[in-house]
Chain A
Amino acid sequence: MSGCLAANAWICPEYVSSRAQELTDATVQHVWITVVSVLVGLAVAFPLALLVRARPAFAGPVLGLTTVLYAVPSLAMFSLLLPLFGLSAALVVTGLVLYSLTILVRNILAGLAAVPEETREAARGMGYGPGRLLWEVELPLALPAVLAGVRMATVSTVALTTVGALVDYGGLGTLITSGLKSFFKAQVLTASVLCVLLAVTADALLLALQRLLTPWTRAARARGSAPRRSTSPGSASPGLTSSGSRARRGAAARDSVGKAG
């Protein structure tokens, strides 16, 4: 015990090497909570988006409810779910899933709405049924918007997972809050930096996946025809540029507001 650990320095390689196992465990927990939350979020958001599209009467309640859920403070959300789940990872995952729904449902809907009507007509004319139309035509075309939503949801989920420290399932957040209690500066800084790195890495990986899955958008951009901002890094949703309608702009504005972590 010497040097930076004894001095309680902010930056301490000794801490990283001596507590490597603890840091790895926290990072792994952080990653799996994030991955499970986003995947479950997608699994819930897809049927919801399809339901809203098939029955527009559901649009108000579904979008309204997910928006209200998004406004619930994360601290309150996790506390309120406690009686249902107890101190468990399921509690954190459920809260994160509920938050991701706002972003995911809106982006899936925006992506599907952006599919040109002529494309649909052409596919129907070629004898595509509704199911095949959805899977083979609409979803691939909606993919850039859907993946943009997944990226946003993932990045904010990584940040939000830290609040799970309240019930000891916060991944790196647990190290951050326990570091606060013991005034352990190196632990707080290292865990915080790892958390940001995790978000940036996840974003980069998803961007690579998006490029891989939608090669046609790159070709279109290279030709210089119709550079769609919806596929460029960072823009919130296709609604930003493709249409100036008030409702879309409202949705885009909502999406560009982050959720606290």
Chain B
Amino acid sequence: MGVVADAWTWLATGANWQGEAGVWHRLGEHLWFSGVSLVLSCLIALPAAFWLGHVGKGGALAVNVSNVGRAVPTLAVLVLLTLTPLGRQGGVPTIVALVLFAVPPLLTNTYLGMREVDRSVVEAARGMGMSGGQLFRTVELPLALPLVMTGLRLAAVQVIATATLAAMAGEGGLGRIITAGFHTYDTAQVFAGALLVGALALLVEGVLAAAGRALAGHGRKRTET
């Protein structure tokens, strides 16, 4: 329990929050990496998965992309990119590595969400003369939304957790608080850093879960009227 108390003391010390290596600056970097990566991943994965799910092709592709993604060590990608000319643009290696990491689960979950939409409902909608676009907007998308949101939530939490690895490649983010504590044998600081990342992940998960519920409620209301 001593570590927890020490970590609390560390967090309560105002000086640890100020300056270049302070919590605020690192938190900003962390949110910037994670946010940009997540938005880019969505821009890449969601349209592709929606399209594949809508036409009902590419199931093997969606699943295999996810499996290949699991096999690629994010740390290796980060370090490789840091050594390329891209590494001189601060933050770019981290963002590229995180996008590569977040696209597979988003793609797979969205595709599965689209495919799990009851086929008889889709057939009925087609029978009513809906065009492909109408079918997607009014039937498939609302029904697939819960699983899509689950995928997004999990991807967001994993991206925030993974962004700490940027510190091992010499980039910024909350991971730097952990590695700095690690190198000075300051367990309290390591614990405080881990707590900060955990709290951030939980907070984002909560916000996205609430957003998902709001969207689902909106969809229900629209179909009822």
Dominant SS among interface residues on chain B: helix
A228 CB to nearest B CB, Å: 14
> A203 to B79, Cβ gap below 8 A?
no
> A83 to B187, Cβ gap below 8 A?
yes
Q: Which among A162, A166, A196, A257 is the interface contact of B105 at CB below 8 angstroms? A: A257
Chain A residues 47 to 67 lying within 8 A of chain B, measured CB to CB, are none
> B64 to A234, Cβ gap below 8 A?
yes
> A155 to B147, Cβ gap below 8 A?
no
Contact flags B159-200 to A (C-beta < 8 A → 1, else 0): 001101101111000010011011000010011011001100
A218 contacts the other chain (CB 8 A)? no
> B83 to A188, Cβ gap below 8 A?
yes
Contact flags A201-222 to B (C-beta < 8 A → 1, else 0): 0010000000000000000000
**Alpha-carbon gap, A83 to B181, bound state (A):** 13
> A75 to B168, Cβ gap below 8 A?
yes
> A159 to B72, Cβ gap below 8 A?
yes
A163 contacts the other chain (CB 8 A)? yes
Stretch at the interface among A35-43, A89-97, A138-146, A246-254: A246-254
B52 contacts the other chain (CB 8 A)? no
B65 CB to nearest A CB, Å: 9
B212 contacts the other chain (CB 8 A)? no
> A173 to B73, Cβ gap below 8 A?
yes
**Alpha-carbon gap, A146 to B105, bound state (A):** 21
Dominant SS among interface residues on chain A: helix
B interface size (C-beta, 8 A): 54
Residues in A with CB closer than 8 Å to B154 are 253-254, 257
A98 contacts the other chain (CB 8 A)? no
> A177 to B109, Cβ gap below 8 A?
no
**Alpha-carbon gap, A236 to B3, bound state (A):** 38
Q: Which residue of B lies closest to A258 (CB)?
A: B70
A interface size (C-beta, 8 A): 54
> B150 to A152, Cβ gap below 8 A?
no
> A258 to B66, Cβ gap below 8 A?
yes
B37 contacts the other chain (CB 8 A)? no
**Alpha-carbon gap, A217 to B222, bound state (A):** 44
**Alpha-carbon gap, A260 to B164, bound state (A):** 10
Q: Which among B66, B82, B157 is the interface contact of A180 at CB below 8 angstroms? A: B82
**Alpha-carbon gap, A233 to B165, bound state (A):** 29
B19 CB to nearest A CB, Å: 22
**Alpha-carbon gap, A165 to B104, bound state (A):** 25
> A257 to B162, Cβ gap below 8 A?
no
**Alpha-carbon gap, A173 to B78, bound state (A):** 12
**Alpha-carbon gap, A199 to B69, bound state (A):** 11
B74 contacts the other chain (CB 8 A)? yes
B80 CB to nearest A CB, Å: 6
> B155 to A257, Cβ gap below 8 A?
yes
Q: Which residue of B lies closest to A151 (CB)?
A: B67
> B75 to A176, Cβ gap below 8 A?
yes
> B67 to A79, Cβ gap below 8 A?
no
A20 contacts the other chain (CB 8 A)? no
Chain B residues 42 to 92 lying within 8 A of chain A, measured CB to CB, are 60, 63-64, 66-67, 69-77, 79-80, 82-83
**Alpha-carbon gap, A74 to B165, bound state (A):** 8
Q: List 7 A-B contacts (CB under 8 A).
A: A71-B198, A73-B194, A73-B198, A156-B70, A160-B73, A192-B80, A195-B76
Which residues of A are at the interface with B, using a C-beta cutoff of 8 A? 71-77, 79-80, 82-83, 152, 155-156, 158-160, 162-163, 165-166, 173, 176-177, 179-180, 183, 185, 188-189, 191-192, 195-196, 199-200, 203, 233-236, 240, 244, 249-250, 252-254, 256-261
Which residues of B are at the interface with A, using a C-beta cutoff of 8 A? 3, 60, 63-64, 66-67, 69-77, 79-80, 82-83, 101, 104-105, 108-109, 112, 116, 147, 150-151, 154-155, 157-158, 161-162, 164-165, 167-170, 175, 178-179, 181-182, 187, 190-191, 193-194, 197-198, 201
* A-B CB proximity, top 6 nearest: A76-B194, A260-B162, A199-B71, A192-B76, A261-B73, A258-B70
Query: Apart from A73-B197, A192-B76, what are 17 other A-B pairs with CB-CB below 8 Å?
Result: A73-B198, A74-B164, A75-B164, A76-B164, A152-B70, A155-B67, A159-B70, A166-B179, A173-B73, A176-B75, A180-B82, A180-B170, A192-B79, A233-B67, A235-B63, A253-B147, A261-B73
